């Protein structure tokens, strides 16, 4: 195959810390190339260098067979390089149509806004990945999975030679994922190269011909995907084998901590009832749009139900807002940790203390040492990898950011912990660490609700499973006996 982009011996440091150490990668024309590695392995830094957002300290770069001195953001765009980052970079206050057509309309620099042209551009882009989204809705009103599709559509409005997708399927339904993978293959057939970054290794194997593996900022190598297995790829990424077996658990408690009776909310869910015992991990699985997140938000008081009853420790309670939920011992880790779970520019210390700042105060003043000690305690307890508690939380890897969100929630000493897709966008070893942490919390008596659309995550870690579809519970299953294939079949039949 003919070479499109080659990076050789790329080094990059930030404040004396080496992010990339002699990385090599070659992407051919019309190739789908997988890029894998744990969080912190250097994938994001490499993508930013390819896109021209940052410059390498040293190394050689070739584009179309010619050596270039540097990659600048404007130049790479004109060469046909488009990147979709994990944070999507959408305008929340603009409509779907405006977001999709933004880049193309910006290039045209017309004096007047042509709304018909904006809609035409948006519809053409959506048609490429076989989706239909209301063009007039504000992007901030959309679920994160739908926002991801909007970002993909925007990239498809330009002439692309190399499309870089950074975790594009993290929040998509299985149907949307299949559509996207199909679109990728279609783009490939037209000679477009794709650099596909994902923690979902099965998707990498589905579409990538070659896979480049990074570990600790270094190139482990580039391998034909057919020469690797899931286990061998994990071992190359992490340097060790990973045990991915179902965890045997015993939940002997009969004490019901939380009971939901006939919860309903118009256009979200209807007549939901279940109970949750101390030390139990209850899995709620369903595709995006099943009502799973809306149910969690109702229990936590973000968007209370229209009708229904809630009992905590056998007492009827009214959860009208988040403050009520926290007082009743409920904690919630949201699906979108970057927007809803963290204050990105604030320190790890401030984020860990955010939920209990009043309890740390002394006469209306919160001593610095008390804040530092509390944060340090949770950093040690959750094994958060950070140089210092005062480091901005946005500099941490995805797995460590999620641990900060967990620490913030656990500092309120909850009896009920709701986890909504807690391992989205997290690498395989960090995911295993989070799962172990969840099981340990349950062993301490905390009642856990684990919401996910990842079947192994649910079957390997939960005691019971509630299958949701279209706002209703369709089945209650024993996690210790249900087979992953059977659960997948049940999800597909609705």
pLDDT, tens digit, 9 for 90 and up, residues 140-183: 998 777 888 898 899 888 888 999 998 888 767 677 788 788 88
Neighbours of 191 (CB within 10 A): 12
Domain-embedded: residue 250: no
CA-to-CA separations, 167 to 32, 198, 201, in angstroms, rounded: 14, 5, 11
Token pair belonging to 177? 């994922």
Per the domain annotation, does 246 fall within a domain?
no
**Same domain for 305 and 402?**
yes
Domain co-membership, 264 together with 405: yes
Q: Residue 427's domain is classified under what CATH number?
A: 3.40.50.300
97: Cα within 13 Å, side-chain hemisphere? 14
Q: Report the pLDDT value the prediction gives residue 466, as an integer from 0 to 100.
A: 97
pLDDT for res 243: 63
Residue range(s) defining the domain that contains residue 316: 256-493
Where a domain ends, among 176, 204, 238?
238
Same domain, 388 and 459: yes
Whole-prediction pTM value? 0.72
Query: What backbone phi and psi angles, to 5 degrees, belong to 63?
Result: -125, 125
Residue 247 within a domain: no
Give the SS3 label for residue 90: coil
Are 120 and 159 members of one domain? Answer: yes
SS3 225: helix
In angstroms, the Cα distances linking 38 to 35, 381, 431 are: 10, 22, 10
Q: What is the pLDDT of residues 284-333, one digit of tens each?
A: 998 778 999 999 999 999 999 999 999 999 999 999 999 999 999 999 99
Query: Does 245 reside within a domain?
Result: no
397: which 2 tokens?
């890897």
Question: What pLDDT is attached to residue 404?
Answer: 93
Give me the number of domains the chain comprises: 2
Asked if residue 268 lies in contact with residue 294, where contact means CB atoms within 8 angstroms, the answer is yes
pLDDT along the chain (494 residues), means of 10: 93 87 96 91 91 92 88 79 82 95 82 88 89 93 82 86 87 74 87 92 93 95 94 88 62 86 96 96 89 95 96 96 95 86 92 88 82 93 90 86 92 95 82 89 95 90 95 93 87 77
Burial of 110 (0-12, 13-18, 19+ CB in 10 A): exposed
Residues 74 and 150 in one domain: yes
**pLDDT in the model for residue 485:** 84
Could you say which of 212, 238, 264 is where a domain stops?
238
Instruction: Indicate whether 415 belongs to any domain.
Output: yes
Stated length of the chain: 494
């Amino acid at each position: 195959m003919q070479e499109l982009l080659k990076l050789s011996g790329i080094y990059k440091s930030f404040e004396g810390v080496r992010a990339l150490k002699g990385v090599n990668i070659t992407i051919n024309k019309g190739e789908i190339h997988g890029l894998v590695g744990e969080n912190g392995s250097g994938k994001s830094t490499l993508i930013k260098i390819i896109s021209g957002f940052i410059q390498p300290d040293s190394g050689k770069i070739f584009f179309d067979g010619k050596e270039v001195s540097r990659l600048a953001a404007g130049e790479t765009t004109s060469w046909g390089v488009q990147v979709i980052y994990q944070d999507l970079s959408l305008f929340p206050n603009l409509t779907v149509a405006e977001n999709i057509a933004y880049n193309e309309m910006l290039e045209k620099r017309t004096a007047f806004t042509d709304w018909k042209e904006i809609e035409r551009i948006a519809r053409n882009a959506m048609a490429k990945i076989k989706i239909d989204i209301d063009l007039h809705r504000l992007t901030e009103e959309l679920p994160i999975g739908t926002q991801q599709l909007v970002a993909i559509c925007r990239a498809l409005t330009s002439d692309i030679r190399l499309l870089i997708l950074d975790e594009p399927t993290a929040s998509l339904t299985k149907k949307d994922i299949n559509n996207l993978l199909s679109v990728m293959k279609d783009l490939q057939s037209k000679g477009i190269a794709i650099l596909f970054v994902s923690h979902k290794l099965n998707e990498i194997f589905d579409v990538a011909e070659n896979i480049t593996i990074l570990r600790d900022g270094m190139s482990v190598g580039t391998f034909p995907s057919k020469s690797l297995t899931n286990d061998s790829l994990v071992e190359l990424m992490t340097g060790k084998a990973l045990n991915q077996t179902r965890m045997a658990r015993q939940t002997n408690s009969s004490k019901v901590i939380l009971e939901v009776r006939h919860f309903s909310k118009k256009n979200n869910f209807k007549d939901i009832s279940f109970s949750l015992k101390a030390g139990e991990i209850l899995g709620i699985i369903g595709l995006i749009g099943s009502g799973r997140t809306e149910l969690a938000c109702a229990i936590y008081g973000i968007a209370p139900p229209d009708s229904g009853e809630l009992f905590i420790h056998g007492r009827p309670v009214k959860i009208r807002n988040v403050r009520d939920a926290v007082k009743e011992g409920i904690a919630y880790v949201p699906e979108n940790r970057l927007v809803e779970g963290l204050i990105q520019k604030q320190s790890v210390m401030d984020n860990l203390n955010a939920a209990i700042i009043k309890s740390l105060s002394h006469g209306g003043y919160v001593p610095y040492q008390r804040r530092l000690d509390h944060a340090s305690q949770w950093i040690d307890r959750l094994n958060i990898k950070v140089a210092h508690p005062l480091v901005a939380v946005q500099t941490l890897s995805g797995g460590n950011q999620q641990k900060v969100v967990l620490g913030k929630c656990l500092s309120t000493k909850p009896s009920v912990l709701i986890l909504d897709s807690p391992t989205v966008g997290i690498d395989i070893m960090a995911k295993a660490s989070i799962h172990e942490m969840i099981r340990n919390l349950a062993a301490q008596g905390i009642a856990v609700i684990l919401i996910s659309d990842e079947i192994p995550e649910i079957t390997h870690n939960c005691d019971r499973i509630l299958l949701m579809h279209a706002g209703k519970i369709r089945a209650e299953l024993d996690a210790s006996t249900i087979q992953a294939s059977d659960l997948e079949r049940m999800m597909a039949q609705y």
